[in-house]
Amino acid sequence: MVNTVGKPGKPGQDVRCVVSVAMLNEGWDANTVTHILGVRAFGSQLLCEQVVGRGLRRRSYTPDPESGLLAPEYVDVYGIPFSVIPYKGKPSTTPPDRPVNHVYAMPERAGFEMRFPNVESYVYGLEKPAIRVADLGALEKLIIEPENTPTATFLRVVTDHVEGAVGAVGTGPFIEHNRSEYYRMHHLQEIEFEIARQIVGALVGEGSDAPLSGKPAMRGQARHVLFPQVLRIVRRYVQEKVDFRGVDPCELGLERYVRRVKERLLAAILPDEQQGEAPLLPVLNRNHPIDTTTRVDRTTKRSVHSTRRSHLNAVELDSTWEQSVAFYLEQRVDLVRYYAKNDGGFMSIPYEYEGVKHSYEPDYLVKLTSSVTLLLEVKGEEDDQDRAKYQAARRWVTAVNNWGRLGTWEFRVCRDPQRVVEVIAGR
């Protein structure tokens, strides 16, 4: 191994450095020592223990996000002089320790610092009230998923006690149970009215939804004015953005779809400034209203790539797609001034999906040569929750731009890394 240090395909390909004789005794502290090879005689057992202790310095003090505990770390010690030391060996099933990489903000690149508001929620006051959706065509679609929520099932009469899987055991024909009676008793218009009613309730602060208006007087005065406006928005959304995939439109009445439409439209409804309403504004964290990449200082066992035009020294290589995007961000000086990969989620956007609060972490923050700050998401296959994230990001951008203290922001999704330059350029 020593003779093949750094040679690809050889036993020593993963060795990063070799320390010569007498350097690992007392008073020497380096947390990157992973292998100790004893090939000389030691004067005492104490010296053996001191040398082994040099390899027992932890490399990472970042707790595992799932267990909350520090990950186990090992040092491989070889050689006859160390045989006098009792030890507990590494489990045979434990994979080799991956190198720990340090991702941090570089003080010498302070000119590449990314600053962003730490948004917790949103607020506006409706006076008339008058609302609108800025661009219905830009709203994320809702796709009905019969493969995840079956519309029918088949049953058969079982006449005796059966253990285990029932399978096709039973007598008589199979009987289909479906929602045909539900379809007969309900209409799409009724479902649209119910969705509009729930959205209006959220706007005036009723139910479990946090009120979007700071005006308590709206609780009794605004419903009759808001409802027809909301109903028009709901109907347009159902007509233009809901893909029923051939099933009965009344499938939209299932709670999961009602909740998704409600959350999506609540994230898109804005005050109508043309009617004199105050714009949507962000509510910032009281302790850290403005955050920055200066606070980034973390370790990771993922592979990283060094940077030249980022405040952070490296980007994590989560996928080949994100590697490609990082390459273009480094090369296109005509479009990109600097950037930061949102590793570890130092910047997040609050959103709600199916009644549960989440945080969305865009992949990149990019400062363009046009002075626009871009939230860039790199995504291949998307599901409905991803579309809810995108809607939340657009709401965040609208509120932050209305606030106006950190310049102009935009949000874009790159679905093909070969087109990332077009996405960045807004084409």
**pLDDT score, position 214:** 40
**pLDDT score, position 90:** 64
**pLDDT score, position 336:** 94
Rounded (5°) CA angle 398-197-386: 45
Residue 104 DSSP SS3: strand
Longest dimension (CA), the chain: 91
Which residue type, as a one-letter code, is found at position 318?
Answer: D
Helix (H) or strand (E) holding 386: helix 384-403
Name the nearest CA neighbour of 344 among 7, 70, 103, 57. 103
β-partners of residue 77 are: 36
**pLDDT score, position 170:** 59
CB 168 within 8 Å of CB 156: yes
Residue 255 DSSP SS3: helix
Residue 83 DSSP SS3: helix
Q: Where are the beta strands (DSSP E) in 227-303?
A: 242-243, 269-271, 281-284, 290-292, 297-300
Name the nearest CA neighbour of 341 among 312, 368, 370. 312
What tokens appear for 242 in the block?
Answer: 């809901």
**pLDDT score, position 207:** 54
CB 142 within 8 Å of CB 260: yes
**pLDDT score, position 233:** 92
Helical H runs in 287-346?
Answer: 320-331
What tokens appear for 187 in the block?
Answer: 């209409």
CB 414 within 8 Å of CB 377: yes
C-alpha to C-alpha distances, 29 to 22, 50, 85, 177, nearest whole angstrom: 13, 11, 20, 71
Q: Dump pLDDT digits (tens) for 219-239.
A: 444 677 788 889 999 999 999
Helix (H) or strand (E) holding 189: helix 188-203
**pLDDT score, position 111:** 95
What tokens appear for 156 in the block?
Answer: 């058969």
**pLDDT score, position 226:** 83
Domains and CATH numbers, the chain: 1-99 (no CATH), 107-121+283-425 (3.40.1350), 129-160+167-278 (no CATH)
Residue ranges in the chain modelled with pLDDT below 50: 209-221
